[in-house]
């Protein structure tokens, strides 16, 4: 059975491991991204991780990368990125890894990879079309129909975090960071004292500020999901990101907000689910992307 070196590059951590062609994790590990060192240092770190995995398993048949940033998935190159990773634009993982390790390499955006994992073997498995939103520091999105990612003209389809809601970017008012900011401001306390987990714990204890902040977040997410659904009309919307571990506590508010901002036909025919895959989603989605482009590797 073939194995693959899979790497999920996030803003704070890199998850990497060896997966087999069935998507099972043979081994995995994690290291700090050290994004402040910039794109070239990060690319060199990725090279070193791939080298380590190939030394452990000479039969690795390919390299699959999931990364933050807008990715030209045909060239395997970063074409847009935030300042969180300085000088990341222009880094071409496909070119440099194929040259160095003589193994086929595929690169895809991290949210797209998370979506592929859910579509292949998660909450979107039986759906003809799926919208995935990841809620964290920002909001990312992807749309998959009949197993195919919607990339758009310049690989920027579903960059929904920038979508304005009442003139404000969706992620600035709907992301976990916005929830934390709102509670800290309401309490007149330092931001460092609050996080999503604490907010939900306090809400469970009856803290009205936290309860209201969560309701407000759900309303914004409902608006965003409704706006996107008017355009894409997905069968299922899958919500991911760390805070969605609390998803079932939010379900009713999310469904109510979604229904309030869309038409009954869409509300009735759109399911809202919470991501099944967590820490391994990026690696598994990166592998799914690789195998779609290299089906012979799965034979």
* Confidence check: pLDDT of 242 > 90: no
Predicted confidence (pLDDT) at residue 84 exceeds the cutoff of 80: yes
Q: Please say if the pLDDT value at position 299 is more than 70.
A: no
Q: Which residues pair with 271 in a beta bridge?
A: 236
The per-residue pLDDT for 281 is 92
Domain ranges of the chain: 3-110+282-298, 123-274
Q: Annotate the chain with three-state secondary structure.
A: CCEEEEEEECCCEEEEEEEECCCCEEEEEEEECCHHHCHHHHHHHHHHHHHHHHHHCCCEEEEEEEECCEEECCCCEEEECCCCCCCCCCCEHHHHHHHHHCCCEEEEEHHHHHHHHHHHHCCCCCCCEEEEEEECCCEEEEEEECCEECCCCCCCCCCHHHCEECCEEHHHHHCHHHHHHHHHHHHCCCHHHCCHHHHHHHHHCCCHHHHHHHHHHHHHHHHHHHHHHHHHCCCEEEEECHHHHHHHHHHHHHHHHHHHHCCHHHHHCCEEEECCCCCCHHHHHHHHHHHHHCHHHHC
* Per-residue model confidence (pLDDT) at position 11: 86
**Residue range 160-176, pLDDT digits in tens:** 999 999 999 999 999 99
pLDDT of res. 178: 96
Residue 285 has pLDDT above 80, yes or no: yes
Whether 276 shows a pLDDT value over 70: the answer reads yes
**Is pLDDT of 186 > 90?**
yes
The predicted model scores a pTM of 0.93
Fold for 123-274, please state it. Answer: Nucleotidyltransferase; domain 5 (3.30.420)
CATH class of 3-110+282-298: alpha beta
Q: State pLDDT tens for residues 140-158.
A: 999 999 999 999 999 999 9
Fold equal for 3-110+282-298 and 123-274: yes
Q: Which of 7-11, 230-234, 264-268 has the lowest mean pLDDT?
A: 7-11
Structure-token match 């038409």, residue found = 263
Average pLDDT of the chain is 96
> Does residue 298 have a pLDDT over 70?
no
**Structure-token match 């907010």, residue found:** 199
pLDDT at 295 over 90: no
Return the pLDDT at 117: 96
d(CA 18, CA 27): 5
């Amino acid at each position: 059975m073939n194995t693959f070196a899979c790497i999920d590059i996030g803003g704070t951590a890199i998850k990497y491991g060896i997966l087999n062609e069935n998507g099972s994790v043979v081994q995995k590990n994690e290291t700090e991204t050290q994004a402040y060192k910039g794109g070239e240092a990060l690319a060199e770190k990725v090279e070193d991780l791939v080298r380590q995995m190939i030394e452990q398993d000479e039969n690795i048949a390919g390299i699959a990368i999931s990364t933050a940033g807008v990715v030209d998935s045909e060239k395997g190159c970063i074409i847009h990125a935030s300042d969180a990773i300085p000088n990341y634009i222009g880094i071409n993982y496909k070119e440099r890894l194929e040259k160095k390790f003589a193994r086929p390499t595929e690169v895809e955006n991290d949210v797209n990879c998370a979506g592929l994992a859910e579509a292949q073997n998660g909450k979107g498995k039986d759906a003809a079309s799926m919208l995935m939103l990841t809620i964290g520091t920002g909001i990312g999105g992807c749309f998959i129909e009949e197993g195919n990612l919607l990339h758009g003209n310049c690989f920027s389809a579903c960059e929904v975090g920038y979508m304005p809601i009442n003139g404000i970017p969706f992620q600035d008012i709907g992301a976990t960071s916005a929830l934390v900011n709102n509670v800290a401001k309401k309490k007149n306390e330092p931001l460092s004292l609050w996080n999503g987990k604490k907010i939900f714990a306090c809400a469970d204890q009856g803290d009205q500020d936290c309860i209201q902040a969560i309701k407000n977040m759900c309303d914004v997410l409902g608006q965003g999901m409704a706006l996107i659904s008017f355009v894409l009309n997905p069968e299922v919307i899958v919500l991911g990101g760390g805070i969605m571990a609390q998803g079932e506590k939010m379900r009713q508010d999310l469904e109510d907000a979604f229904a309030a901002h869309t038409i009954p036909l869409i509300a009735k025919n759109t399911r809202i689910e919470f991501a099944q895959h967590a820490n391994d989603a990026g690696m598994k989605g990166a592998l799914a992307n690789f195998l779609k482009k290299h089906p012979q590797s799965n034979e």
